[in-house]
Amino acid sequence: MKLLYTILFYIALPLILIRLIWRGIRSPNYWLRWPERFGRSAFLSDQTPVIWVHAVSVGEAEATRPLVKILLVDYPEHQILITTMTPTGSARVQLLYGDVTSISHCYSPYDVSFAVKRFLKQTHPQFGIIMETEIWPMMLLTCQQLNIPLVLANARMSERSAKGYSRFAVFTKTVLQSLHFIAAQTESDRQRFKQLGADIKKVHAIGNLKYEISLAMSLMEQATAMRIIWGSQRPIWIAASTHEGEEAMILNAARQIRSACPELLLIIVPRHPERFDKVSAISQKAGFKTLRRSENRPCPSDVQVLVVDTMGELPLFYAASDIAFVGGSLVPVGGHNILEPAALGRPIITGPHYFNFNDITKQFLKADAAILINNTEELAETVIMLFKSTAQRHNMGDAALKIIANSQGASKRLVNLIKRHITHHAQ
C-alpha cells in the first residue's frame, strides 16, 4: 500500500504543481519559495537541538501560541522550526513569531520520499509535533525509520473522516502506529483513533489547544478607539471567514437588518485573500456604500459595509463588533473556529454546516453561547433580535467566556506528555 500511495502521489504531482500555479494567479505568494516544498529548506540546523512544529494554515498556526510559549520556557536551549503549507499560514507565523530569534519558519515538503528525506536531513528535528490531523503517510513513516518521534497534537477525528480512513484500514493502522503518541481533543476522537488501529495506550484525550487563546492586552483599547471614530452607539456586526456564496446571503440579511437598524455597519472578512477584490465588488454591486480596510481611512457614518482585506486583524474586528457570525457555515465548508469571538465575550451565530468544529460548536449551542441559523431570513431575524436585547448579548458573551475559562490547560498537558514519553527517554 505504501508503494501504491507513493506511485499515486508522483502521478498527482504535476496536477499539484498546476494547482499551485493557478492559485498563484490569484495569490502570487503561492509562486514563491518552491524549493521548500521539495524539502530544500532555508533553515539549516547546527548543533542546537530542533523541535519541529507543523501547523498547516492560519488556524493551526494560531493554536500553536500557548504551546510554543511553554516550549520556549521548558526547552530554552532548543530552536523551534514551524512549518506551514499555505502562504496565509506562513504570514501568520511571521506575524506571531517574527521577532523571536529562536523560532524559524519554512514550508513543509510535499509527501514524496525524496522531499521528505531532504527536509529531515537538513533540519534534524529531535522530535516533531503535528498539529490537528495532518496525517501524511510518507512523512510519518520516514520519521519512524529515522527514529524521530512524532506527536499528533490537538488531533480530531470526525465520523466522516474516520469512514474515509477505514477504507484503507491496514495502511491507516500502520501509519497511526508510527506515531509516538496521539494527543486527541476529546474522548470521542480518542475512540475513533482506536477504531482505526492506533494503540489506545498511546492515545490521550487532553482537550483542545485552541481554547487557550492569547489576545493582546491592547486589543480592546484599539477596538474602543475604532468604535469612537465610527460612532460608539452604532450597531456593528461581523461576518468572519466567509466563503464563496456566503457574502450574497449575508448582504441580503444586512439589507433586512437595516430596516430595523438604519445605522448598521456590516464588517465582512473573507477567508481567502484572493477573494478580497471579488467580495468588495459584490458588496458595491448590491448597492452598499463599501469601504476597504486597505484604504487606510476613517469609516464614516455613510459607509454601510467594511471589507477587511488585510491579514492578521480579525481579532481586532471581532472586538470592535457587537455580534459575530462565523462563516464557512452557511455553505457546506464545515465552519470555522468560534473560539476567538468567544474569548472576547461576543454572542456568536453559526450556520448549519459546522462539522469541522462539531464538538466545540455543539458545546456553545448547548450552553446558549451561540445561536444556530439555517438561512438568510433566520440570520437577519437573529441579528435584529440580538441588537434589540442587550441582556441576551451579554448573557451569551458571559456563557462563552465561562466555557473558555473552564476548557484550558491542554498545552501544558501536551508538554507534560512529551517530557514523559519523549525527552526524558532521549536523555
Q: Which of the residues are catalytic?
A: 60
Strand 323-326 relative to strand 290-292, pairing:
unpaired
Angle at the Cα of 140 from the Cα atoms of 170 and 198, rounded to 5 degrees: 45
Which helix (H) or strand (E) is 223 found in, with range? helix 219-230
Contact residues for 88 (Cβ-Cβ < 8 A; gap 6+): 57, 58, 272, 273, 311
Label residues 124-146 b or e (16+ Cβ within 10 Å = b). Answer: bbbbbbbbbbbbbbbbbbbbbee
Q: Which amino acid is at 403?
A: I
DSSP letters spanning 69-134: HHHHHH-TT-EEEEEESSHHHHHHHHHHHTT-TTEEEEEPPPSSHHHHHHHHHHH-EEEEEEETT-
Contact residues for 147 (Cβ-Cβ < 8 A; gap 6+): none
Q: Which residues partner with 38 through β-bridges?
A: none
